[in-house]
Amino acid sequence: MSDLDSEIELWQDSMIRRGVNTDSVEELERHLRDSFGALASSGEYDADTWREALDELGDSEEIAHEFLKVQDLERSQRFIRLATTLSTFGLIVGSLYGGYAVALVYSDSQASHRKMKKGLEDIL
């Protein structure tokens, strides 16, 4: 493993420890490698070029913070979609069950009414 690969691996680990998801870390790594490649005149690892590429990418803490905000927003949006779906399903099931319950009550009240009417007729 080259020194550059070792540095990138350490950087990736630090970003993942900060909570950035692996897809985002891989995307950032591509930018970091592109930046390093553009800065490196010989194409070989150079510590100064590595630091410069990192500086071009930006502060790791700030990057992680921004990616976490996006990830939290995406997670919230998924939760809202799930809650909306479940609420809609609940309303549909509730409406169907409620309609069935009303029909049962109406049916039972009609039967009770007939029984009472028959009972009164028997008494009279």
Q: How far apart are CA 51 and CA 59, in angstroms?
A: 11
Distance of CA 120 to the CA centre of its chain: 65
H/E run at residue 67: helix 60-123
Instruction: Say which range, 32-41, 49-58, 110-119, has the weakest mean pLDDT.
Output: 110-119
DSSP class of residue 40 equals: -
Dig out the tokens for 91 from the structure: 């309303």
Instruction: Check whether 44 has a pLDDT greater than 70.
Output: no
3-class DSSP state of 104 = helix
d(CA 82, CA 77): 9
Sign of CA dihedral 49, 53, 56, 58: negative
- pLDDT for 92-101, tens place per residue? 766 666 665 5
pLDDT tens-digit readout, 77-92: 888 888 888 888 877 7
- The answer for residues whose C-beta is within 8 angstroms of residue 4's C-beta and 6 or more apart is 36, 45, 50
pLDDT at 70 over 60: yes
CA distance 34 to 28: 10
Paired tokens of 86: 């479940």
Q: What percent of the chain has pLDDT over 70?
A: 73
Written as one letter, the residue type at 42 is S
